[in-house]
Amino acid sequence: MSAYFPTMGLEIHAELLTKSKVFCTCSAEFGGTPNSRCCPVCSGLPGTLPVLNQKAVEYIIKAGYVMNCDISRFTKWDRKNYFYPDLPKAYQISQMPRPVCLSGKVNIKVNGEDKVIRINRIHLEEDAGKLVHDDARHLSYADYNRCGVPLIEIVTEPDFHSADEVIAFIEKIKLLLQYAGICDCKMEQGSIRCDVNISIAPKGSTELGTRTELKNLNSLKAIAKAIEVEIDRQEELLESGERVIQQTRRFNEQLGETTAMRSKEDAHDYRYFPDPDIPPIIFTEEELESIKNSIPELPEQRVERYVNEYGLKKADADIIVGDKKICDFFDEALAVYNNPKAVANYILGELMNRINRGEADMENLKFGGADLAKLVEFMQTDKISQANAKAILREMIENGGSAKDIADRDDLWIKEDNDLLAKVVDEIIANNPKPVEQYKNGDQKVFGFFMGQANKALKGAASPKAIQEYIRKKLSE
Ligand SMILES: [Zn+2]
């Protein structure tokens, strides 16, 4: 048992899904040929004037509402001075004393326990560009396409005491932002990024230790690992009588260690001052109310609706809502075939099985929810057998296409061929006198044996219902 306990706070940066950048009309889309999405404003040429993107302001207000923040009626922008070559202006337009959102709270569930994480603030700023280092040639390249992409920074209170809590919170924030439609939260593309401030203190102590800030965390796995490694490092320092230095540290995933990047700046190091180019904003109650009312249904309400209106199990609803792609797919399916339980079962069963086995992934699925809905409907209405539905799903995953076209092409419809049904079942009964005897003596379990044999031989030529009825009839003769 460790003699110390860790305390952590997070700074989460999320890029907003606006079409254009925050202070100019350049595209805010990810990627692109380096420096092809730049103009004099976002590449920081002297004499240019930024114009604030209204959509970005709307989105940060939405972010504030979904995290239960107070929205400032008066907000303004500041210049944060720093010069790294990824920001050609040598200052970032950000917000210091008057951010758009203050003091929110977000509920998380960690190992079955509910916990509330307090949000200190959320402010709107511009993203910096990207540096690409070519070590072999001792060169660095600057790509300014990302310069000026609207960014919100979510700053939490130091309310975390384990990596599990941190991960649960980030997952919750991702869901909230995705459902609110303001960030796609693709960690691998950097549209959501997280820095962790971390300190340890002796158990029972009321004072926090000196903190370090972990940067360069590109996945939830890296975040969990970096926290573990940094806690160990700080413990070793304190145990050997040394002290922790306030600094920013980079996590190296390959080596599994954190290394010092620079001493951690305090706010005064940035010499913030009001940006003279962006006028402050005063929001009216009507404006805020209308933005609040435009927020789409959030994850918790969706789970509730799926349970109450659709009769899904809470655990099933949690899985569907827990991945927005699956949730949208489910809704799309229900619009075509309104049988929530059957559709949910097929998604969570057959489709998820294949996804878990790596045969399919939601990101690159070759068919939509509407196509899956038709397949489930054909099965539920005895037009296609379960076995043939599996074959059709496999084909849809591999090559796309609609269930109807595949069933037509491969002749997979149930034909209700009563003559064939009679012939096949009569034969099975004639060839298996022993199970027939058992059934007649009251052993109901052997019925499954006859169903299995008949299904196998008929290959979907008759519906399960017709097979069942015919076997029952014959066995009771
Ligand atoms: Zn621009």
Tell me the CA–centroid distance for residue 84 and ligand 1, in Å: 19
pLDDT for res 22? 97
Tell me the CA–centroid distance for residue 20 and ligand 1, in Å: 8
Tell me the CA–centroid distance for residue 21 and ligand 1, in Å: 7
Tell me the CA–centroid distance for residue 42 and ligand 1, in Å: 4
Tell me the CA–centroid distance for residue 44 and ligand 1, in Å: 9
pLDDT for res 96? 93
Tell me the CA–centroid distance for residue 27 and ligand 1, in Å: 8
Beta-bridged to residue 214, according to DSSP, are 196, 249
Tell me the CA–centroid distance for residue 24 and ligand 1, in Å: 5
Tell me the CA–centroid distance for residue 39 and ligand 1, in Å: 4
Reading the block at residue 264, the tokens are 């951690």
Tell me the CA–centroid distance for residue 41 and ligand 1, in Å: 5
pLDDT for res 471? 87
Tell me the CA–centroid distance for residue 224 and ligand 1, in Å: 36
pLDDT for res 194? 95
pTM: predicted TM-score of the whole model, two decimal places: 0.85
Tell me the CA–centroid distance for residue 128 and ligand 1, in Å: 12
Tell me the CA–centroid distance for residue 26 and ligand 1, in Å: 4
418-475 to CATH, choices 3.40.50.980, 1.10.730.10, 2.40.170.20, 1.10.10.410: 1.10.10.410
Tell me the CA–centroid distance for residue 91 and ligand 1, in Å: 16
CB 342 within 8 A of CB 376: yes
CB 465 within 8 A of CB 382: yes
pLDDT for res 151? 97
| Mean pLDDT per 10-residue interval, the chain, length 477 residues | 90 96 95 94 92 97 97 96 89 95 96 95 96 90 95 97 96 96 92 95 90 89 94 93 92 88 74 93 96 95 95 94 93 95 94 91 90 94 88 92 90 81 86 86 85 83 83 83
pLDDT for res 230? 95
Tell me the CA–centroid distance for residue 18 and ligand 1, in Å: 13
Beta-bridged to residue 11, according to DSSP, are 155, 195
Tell me the CA–centroid distance for residue 283 and ligand 1, in Å: 26
CB 428 within 8 A of CB 450: yes
Per-domain boundaries in the chain:
4-285, 297-410, 418-475
pLDDT for res 237? 93
Tell me the CA–centroid distance for residue 63 and ligand 1, in Å: 24
